[in-house]
Amino acid sequence: MSMVKLTKTEKRIAFRQKVLDLAGANIMRCYQCGECSGGCPESAVMDLLPNQVIHKIQLGDESVLDTNTFWICSSCLICSARCPKGIDIAKVMESLREISLRAKKSYVTLEALTKEELEELPQIALISSFKKQTS
Ligand code: SF4
Ligand code: SF4
């Protein structure tokens, strides 16, 4: 069977569409107001803020999967409640976890965390991250 080779642009569009399909959220409506990040209790330890994650997805930038943000997210739903555009950002984070796990990309493991990270990371975020990998 011949493999269809996607161009860079097609790959970006396909990645964005995958997130849209899984999250059921129209992230294209985001206008970067930052309300989601402003209320996120875990933002201090995230590689990218929630609004930055949304922007990367809008661009179809798969490098968002290499960040810790969606693993740190504790699914508290504050961002989703604050978004003036009705975007369910927590669901977007969930879809990134799903894509990452399906692709067998690395995720948070106790062994990989440094002593400093273990001291700094919010315990609730760690616990929810581990739980997400077993559910
Ligand atoms: S659901 Fe996740 S991203 Fe949203 S505010 Fe809570 S911790 Fe932050
Ligand atoms: S609150 Fe909504 S519109 Fe504002 S930056 Fe976050 S996702 Fe975008």
Compute the distance from residue 108 Cα to the ligand 2 centre, in Å: 26
Q: Give the domain range for residue 33.
A: 8-134
Give the separation between CA 15 and CA 59, rounded to whole angstroms. Answer: 9
**Residues with beta carbon inside 6 Å of ligand 1?**
39-42, 50, 73-79, 89-90, 93
In this structure, is residue 54 part of a structural domain?
A: yes
For residue 98, the SS3 value is helix
In this structure, is residue 60 part of a structural domain?
A: yes
pTM of the predicted structure, to 2 decimals: 0.80
In this structure, is residue 119 part of a structural domain?
A: yes
Measured CA to CA in angstroms, residue 8 lies from 13, 20, 99 at distances of 9, 18, 19
Q: Is the pLDDT of residue 135 over 60?
A: no
Give the separation between CA 121 and CA 111, rounded to whole angstroms. Answer: 14
Give the separation between CA 75 and CA 90, rounded to whole angstroms. Answer: 6
In this structure, is residue 51 part of a structural domain?
A: yes
In this structure, is residue 12 part of a structural domain?
A: yes
Q: Is the pLDDT of residue 35 over 80?
A: yes
Q: Is the pLDDT of residue 128 over 80?
A: no
Output the pLDDT for position 119: 80
Q: Supply the CATH number for residue 35's domain.
A: 1.10.1060
Domain count along the chain:
1
Q: Which residues contact 26 (CB under 8 A, 6 or more apart)?
A: 20, 85, 87
In this structure, is residue 14 part of a structural domain?
A: yes
In this structure, is residue 53 part of a structural domain?
A: yes
